[in-house]
Homo-oligomer: A and B are copies of this chain.
């Protein structure tokens, strides 16, 4: 019987306490037995939970060959601290352990003054060249995402020559998904799965074995969101990257793209929540504060406009103070409906669906939804406002609520579509922006109807 090893590590408070204890007592044996044996990703999770000194201590106990990969999985701030404790020579050693894309990312995080020095300390010339090359690309493009490690074969070779050559290439490439097929000038012609190669006759020519129909690739300057969309659409685990001459220069793997897909989806949520930078809950007070300020200022200005609208009706409110009762209801409902409508539009734009649906059709549908919801809610609020104060107030509130819901629905649909048309991120429309606009418009409608109905 073979021992079954299937299990997954769960980080518990108890484990962390034991670890901190071991660190305090410099008990390296306990750490080696209980931490260093785990999966890289688990080790990174554990180190992320330690304080700086503890993190550096545990990191230095790790086997050299896994250090680099773990370093790249740590929180950026902690990685910076660990790197500070290293000489440029030591950093160069870590960099040599990494895949070229991670190596370039790491160099990008170093102070500019250090980059050249670290590169000059890298012993393997080819590695250094690859990194320098990758640093030329914008990090948010396919060139910035790609790695130089991939497997390629020439279209003129037979299978047995490929296997020999790939055996050499395999030393450099950690994960092989697809073998790319190129011509004598390195132009991408097609691809070949390892599976096909494994089961082919040794003398079969690659030209007869490879797939050359619907080869999906991206150019180095493709935006990373575009890369993510293509890999998602075509269900790819890796995608070849070519230059303007269609020469194969790198590949991007799905694990790097999953993060982009997630960040994209989260960005809309942050926009809708009024946060303008990508922040996390452990960022500094200053950074969090700064990221929220723009939206709060928009809200503040909206509130001032709202005050101006109400001030225009001061006489009316002095005469019928009950009119003030439902001000928050009108503004809240306008905001809610506006955010709901815009969220749907933003999401379908982000998904890239409905590209040919006409604006007119969308507005019509949104108006129908608003009519239906507006009607139901108006009837409810009429009853409540009637009991609350009077049938006049009931009529004022229900009529204006109905109008506000319809206008908010139309604004909520139209504005993100317009922003998108003018190449502005439509998610801008879902946050405090649309709420504020609807507040001002809603107030005006409500108070106008109020003045008219009360005959003030």
A residues sitting closer than 8 Å to B (CB atoms) are: 1-2, 4-6, 8, 11, 13, 16, 37-39, 41, 45, 49, 155, 163, 166-167, 170, 173, 175-177, 183, 187-190, 193-195, 197-199, 207, 212-217, 230, 232-235, 237, 242, 246, 254-255, 258, 261-262, 265-266, 268-270, 272-275, 279-282, 285-286, 288-289, 292-293, 295-297, 299-300, 302-304, 306-307, 310-311, 314, 317-318, 321-322, 324-333, 335-337, 339-340, 342-345, 347-348, 353-357, 362, 365, 368-369, 372-373, 376-377, 380-381, 384-385, 388-389, 430, 432, 435-436, 439, 443
Contact = CB atoms under 8 A, between A and B. Distances in A.
Contacts of A255: 235, 237
10 contacts: A41-B233, A197-B198, A235-B255, A270-B347, A274-B339, A275-B344, A281-B353, A285-B368, A310-B325, A324-B327
Contact of A230 (B8, B13, B176, B432): B8
A170 B196 CA distance: 9
A443 B13 CA distance: 42
Number of copies: 2
B281 A345 contact: yes
Contacts of A435: 332, 335-336
Contact of A369 (B230, B288, B337): B288
A344 B300 contact: no
Contact of A281 (B333, B356, B357): B357
A340 B285 contact: no
Nearest to A187: B4
A295 B332 contact: no
Given A49-B356, A327-B324, A328-B306, A6 B188 contact: yes
B269 A254 contact: no
Nearest to A409: B292
Question: By CB atoms of chain B within 10 A, which of A268, A285, A333 has the most?
Answer: A285
Nearest to A315: B321
Given A4-B187, A280-B344, A324-B327, 19 more contacts: A5-B189, A5-B213, A6-B217, A41-B234, A176-B194, A261-B262, A273-B340, A273-B430, A280-B347, A293-B373, A296-B337, A300-B333, A300-B377, A303-B328, A306-B325, A307-B328, A314-B321, A331-B331, A336-B432
A270 B272 CA distance: 10
